[in-house]
Amino acid sequence: MSAAASTASEMHDPRLVAAHLDRAQNGVWFADGREPVSYLAEGNEVCFELEEKSFWFQHRSNCLTSIVRRFPPSGAIYDIGGGNGFVARALIDAGFDTVVVEPGETGARNAAQRGIPTVICATLASAKFATDSLPAAGIFDVLEHVENSATFLGEIQRCLAPKGRLYITVPALPWLWSDDDVAAGHFRRYTLATLSREVEAASFTPLFRSYFFSPLPLPLFALRCVPSLFGKRPLPRKTYSGLHRQRATWLTDRIWAAERRRIAAARPIPFGSSCLLVAEKR
């Protein structure tokens, strides 16, 4: 563990970086005002039921903790759009101080119940973090929900301290676009090239980039894209839950372990249904 990694149980006073926040009785900090977000109203509830049992959520968290160890932050990671705190919990358990910033009250409450010491219920804009105040930020499957991604990345760049690190995951491969993306509130899917261009345009320098979930593109094309071509509606909640609760097999366990080892060694994976990128503020 790098000396830059903070203690896992530290509680912050977020008013040091966002002066107008108020703390509620449940311990969650709130910003004034509400803004619409492109996300399912019940999205956090659905995810909260799935996260502990889902191979997808677990593997994503494992890959993220591996890459954060490889490219550690200088202080706390602000998990923007952090949902129910599943990734934040994994980062804290790995020794990295993490703050959840989540616009949905349900997600913020779930994150607090998960034991995240500092939870802020706000969007990035309504939080109004001070310039150059955040040591590091994570946006994990968030950027695709933001219509004006350039403005969003620019605001993160403003908030981050000089040399502050940004950790990103997004859904990959535009040819996997389906009605499920529309239903989920996505505006786009990425390639590593398009994601890198957006990040560089916002005055970040990419340090590492890779695909992951390498076995999933073809199954996703068959299960989501093909039905969309024939006018089939997106998968209902019950079926979606079933997909995330697929049992691990000997083969999939070996594939996920191999992906984690490659990412931990900063060796890019050439193909997959998600992108992972680490960048540094210029």
Please choose, from the candidates 64, 67, 63, 58, the residue with its C-alpha nearest in 3D space to the C-alpha of residue 79: 64
Q: Which pLDDT does position 246 carry in this prediction? A: 60
Three-state secondary-structure class, residue 165: strand
Q: Which pLDDT does position 230 carry in this prediction? A: 86
Which residues have C-beta within 8 Å of that of residue 247, sequence separation ≥ 6?
none
Q: Which pLDDT does position 233 carry in this prediction? A: 67
In the block, residue with structure tokens 């191999």: 258
Residue pair 93/8 in contact (Cβ under 8 Å)? The answer is yes
Q: Which pLDDT does position 42 carry in this prediction? A: 63
Span 123-168, pLDDT tens digits:
999 999 999 999 999 999 999 999 999 999 999 999 999 999 999 9
Q: Which pLDDT does position 119 carry in this prediction? A: 97
Span 66-77, pLDDT tens digits:
999 999 999 999
Type of residue numbered 114: R
Q: Which pLDDT does position 282 carry in this prediction? A: 94
Compute the Cα dihedral for 230, 44, 191, 148 and give only its sign.
positive
Kindly report the average pLDDT of the chain as a whole number. Answer: 90
Torsion region of 196: left, alpha or beta (phi above 0 gives left; psi -120 to 50 gives alpha): alpha
Cα 61 to the chain's mean position, in Å?
9
Rg of the chain, C-alpha, whole Å: 18
Q: Which pLDDT does position 50 carry in this prediction? A: 83
Residue pair 130/18 in contact (Cβ under 8 Å)? The answer is yes
In the block, residue with structure tokens 């594939």: 255
Q: Which pLDDT does position 231 carry in this prediction? A: 82
**Residue ranges of the chain whose pLDDT lies below 70:** 1-10, 33-43, 233-248
| pTM exceeds 0.75 | yes
